[in-house]
Structure 1
């Protein structure tokens, strides 16, 4: 019986080149769905796996195992889709937009966007939920104030990912800590040494940008027009925000994410019936089909025609196919082989840090899902940290920097497709403004090569 072997670098490069070629041609040339490209790419890896001596049954099991690892993300995404649809119908999101236009001064708008999305993400533990609620509102306010939408998207994502990395309620935070075998709160404390200075720098950058774009001419007439349009379509009162307060409160009390978000979606449907005058069937239907409005104002139509579980099915398929692809890559040992080629150079904390970030980013590129990156990276890199007696907290932190913070940069990843679809801005347009991600990556590498906030353990502890 033929013994399965690891792939060579030439075999890996050929397979990954074919993968990138299919993905790029489908999305940039033929405008075919990325989901189909990912499905086809499964068979590139399967054929390579059979050639290497694996049985098909083993490869199919690797696909299902990879998908199983990300089922929680799929459940949360479905709940978020329902939440967006009913919260628009119930007036929650329109009320957030209205009061944002009322009280946020243009010159501090970008800083306010960063802060609001950060607080929401820390409290809820979900970047997707943050972008789907507060993020939508801030995009609408930014458009009303005349800000470039890619810049606003950058502030939204910087805030959303900041909280997603730090909140002990976040699935990515828990996953990174678990895979690196670190206590969640110890991981959060280790992240603070990087995230606090990165956040301060990012806040200064968005403050400066806010004064550049918002300190000049702002069409106040346009703002009043948008506020009036919202009041014409919805009942706008402070207490309409009650579902948002309840959901954030429950998540802050460490209630399970999926049922809490689903309960918030139910509250949105009730609000739509009681306060917005929708009939029961239509209100409940927004949870699946999303909210639909046909007004004479293009801004209103573009902003409010979204949400629903149905609108998330494309992202759900990307996650399923991406997780399956990642499962195949792990089975074949693709990233492990790539890392082994540079193993001799992993002789310092700086080189290991840089390698970890690169591996995590590549896992997003080829695994198409943040979960793939956060699962594979610690597994692949842990031996290098142990050999240098570097504390696993550093491994967990670097995995988050390279995995979580770059997940929205890949157009065909779960995060890239979700964020671009919800925010209405293409991935390549908003990536240059993901300033928190770039600052955090730079600081992590600086820490690695300077030894700043790099902790070491005794030899016996390092190999446990």
Structure 2
């Protein structure tokens, strides 16, 4: 007979959170065991608490499956982008972008250029993953050729990619956040602009200054020149190599579904590998799954370009599935809800409410492993506080993106963190200090909350204030 289910107590929640953090530290840092096994171990830890508070194995399994289902679109995008990366390298698309980038972008302004280019790409396509897997890889190659710190280049690339993921009307997270918050999509984007605008300008300025700090004068172009020479020797580099990239960006900009468009772009890469790079037909097609092998003679270029193919993403996919399972379990047995209810009891003004939403979103990424989970935890669990304080839901949707979307690449085991680290070849902990746009979005959102700037209230708030005045006069 099943026991009566209840919400976990605060000590039980604390036990899970502390144990989760300790397991991640011991497995990954202390013993260098795979992060996948760390996440799988936490399944059983959470299940012990679930059994204690009355949940059956079957119910908790359904929680795992629901968590995985909610993040399944991200998994399919990972598979698609993996195939695209492999064929776009083998087809000469990414090498051509790197080659022409090296020839036209000045080293001192490169970080700013990478930030802006990735921002434009992500706004036009609505996908941070697709932008990092295409323009991002090219920017990494250019930045390394200029001798810039690779983690700093990754910071500029990811910062730019998340500008569009947060702002583009084509972004699934933008649409999802507006929908969950019950806010018109365009109004949601307008609300975010008051935060993202200043964050974009400040981050851009920081990347510009950094370029002049790390590169003296005109910069040493010898490495860039050797890279261009190696690329032109190994690949057929021509302007028409970039056609698949233009086609894919145009199709995504026309609001065509991202997964089939990315897969179509991957197929174009195979065609280009066969037509222009001398790859045999069957081998060019097989690169979709296995990726290609590059031997340009320049070590860091080979390290950067020897990636891609569906198999390249398998470890990432397993990690994300386990992380989604953790999130599904925590949501099922009520751990995330208890955390957020405790914060809600404390949040009695706009500043505290903003902070609780951002923390709830980060918890969704930290313990749920995906942007989709973080958007749900940030919006659905804190929305009642906005209504209680008569704060317009545009503020809720804006803060949800600040706590959910932009913090995703900061967590090493989230879908965004794992994808960016694998795709760009830089560990999450290495690039996190340089996610200046992402940190600025969070900081500015909190400042607005506690200073009451750009915090809009509903009409009910005004009516309530008028009624109070009338009561005092009487």
Determine the C-alpha separation between the residues in 2 that align with 1:461 and 1:182: 20
1:81 aligned residue: 82
Alignment-derived partner of residue 385 in structure 2: 384
Aligned to 1:101: 102
2:211 and 2:461 map into 1 onto residues whose CA distance is 51
Contact 2:74 2:415 in 1 (8 A): no
In the TM superposition, structure 1's runs of 4+ consecutive aligned residues that sit over 6 Å from their partners are: none
Following superposition of structure 1 onto structure 2, how do residues 23-34 of structure 1 map, counting pairs within 5 Å?
23-34=24-35
1:171: which partner in 2? 172
Q: 1:106 deviation in Å?
A: 0.8
Q: CA deviation at 1:268?
A: 0.4
1:335 deviates by 2.0
SS at match of 2:3: coil
Given that 2:230 and 2:296 are in contact with CA atoms closer than 8 Å, whether structure 1 keeps it comes out as: no
* 1:459–1:369 Cα change, 3 Å: same
What is the distance in 2 between the residues matched to 1:377 and 1:272? 44
Summarize deviations over 1:176-215 as a string: whole Å, max 9, x none. 1222122222211211111111101111111111121234
Separation (CA, whole Å) in 2 of partners of 1:253 and 1:78? 22
- Structure 2 residue aligned with 1:316: 317
> Which residue number in structure 2 is paired with residue 198 of structure 1?
199
Separation (CA, whole Å) in 2 of partners of 1:71 and 1:292: 29
How far 1:53 sits from its partner (Å)?
Answer: 0.7
Q: Is the CA contact 1:136–1:422 (under 8 Å) kept in the aligned structure 2?
A: yes
Between 240-249 and 404-413, report the one with greater CA deviation: 404-413
Q: Which residue of 2 aligns with 1:112?
A: 113
Render the CA deviation track for 1:114-147: whole Å, top value 9, x for unaligned: 1100011011111111111111111111111011
Alignment of 1:336-347 (within 5 A): 336-347=337-348
Aligned residues: 462
Question: How far apart, in 2, do the equivalents of 1:97 and 1:349 lie?
Answer: 46
CA distance in 2, matches of 1:215, 1:452: 40
Matches within 5 A, 1:150-299: 150-216=151-217, 218-299=219-300
Residue of structure 2 in register with 1:421 after alignment: 422
- Return the alpha-carbon distance in structure 2 between the equivalents of residues 43 and 175 of structure 1: 31
Secondary structure at the aligned position of 2:119 is classed as helix
Q: Which moved more, 1:156-165 or 1:309-318?
A: 309-318
CA distance in 2, matches of 1:290, 1:361: 34
Deviation at 1:354, TM superposition (A): 0.8
Distance 2:205 2:53 in 1: 52
Runs of 5+ consecutive residues of structure 2 not aligned to the other structure: 464-474
Distance in structure 1 (CA, Å) of the matches to 2:296 and 2:150: 22
Partner in structure 1 of residue 468 of structure 2: none
1:36-51 counterparts in 2 under 5 A? 36-51=37-52
Q: What's the offset of the Cα at 1:60?
A: 1.2
TM-score for the superposition, normalised by structure 2? 0.95
Q: CA deviation at 1:217?
A: 5.9
The match for 1:369 is: 370
Is the alpha carbon distance of 1:26 and 1:359 closer, same or farther for their aligned partners in structure 2, counting shifts above 3 Å?
A: same
Residue 297 (structure 1) shift: 2.4
Alpha-carbon deviation of 1:305?
0.4
In the alignment, the residues of structure 1 paired with residue 273 and residue 90 of structure 2 have an alpha-carbon distance, to the nearest angstrom, of 5
CA deviation vs aligned residue, 1:13-39 (integer Å, no higher than 9, x gap):
111222122222121122222112111
Number of the residue aligned with 1:146: 147
Whole-angstrom CA distance in 2 between matches of 1:181 and 1:215: 50
* Pairing 1:444-459 to 2, within 5 Å after superposition: 444-459=445-460
Q: Deviations over 1:27-65 (max 9, x none)?
A: 112222211211121111111111101122211111111
Give yes or no for contact 1:106–1:215 (8 Å, CA) kept in 2. no
Q: Could you tell me whether the CA contact under 8 Å between 2:344 and 2:356 is conserved in 1?
A: no
SS of match in other structure, 1:342: helix
**Equivalent in the alignment of 1:409:** 410
Any unmatched runs of 5+ in structure 1? Answer: none
**In 2: Cα distance, 1:418 partner to 1:26 partner:** 20
Q: Offset of 1:340 from its aligned partner? A: 2.2
Partner of 2:136: 135
In structure 2, the partner of 1:442 is 443
> Could you tell me whether the CA contact under 8 Å between 2:107 and 2:218 is conserved in 1?
no
2:470 match: none
- Which residue in 1 is equivalent to 2:307? 306
Equivalent-residue separation in structure 2 for 1:96 and 1:299 (angstroms) = 17
Q: Secondary structure at the match of 2:205?
A: helix
C-alpha distance in structure 1 between counterparts of 2:208 and 2:117, whole Å: 14
Retained in 1: the 8 A contact 2:227–2:298?
Answer: no
Kindly state the Cα deviation for residue 173 of structure 1 after the two structures are TM-superposed: 1.0
Alpha-carbon distance between aligned partners in 2 of 1:191 and 1:211, rounded to the nearest angstrom: 30
> Distance between the aligned counterparts of 2:428 and 2:345, measured in 1?
35
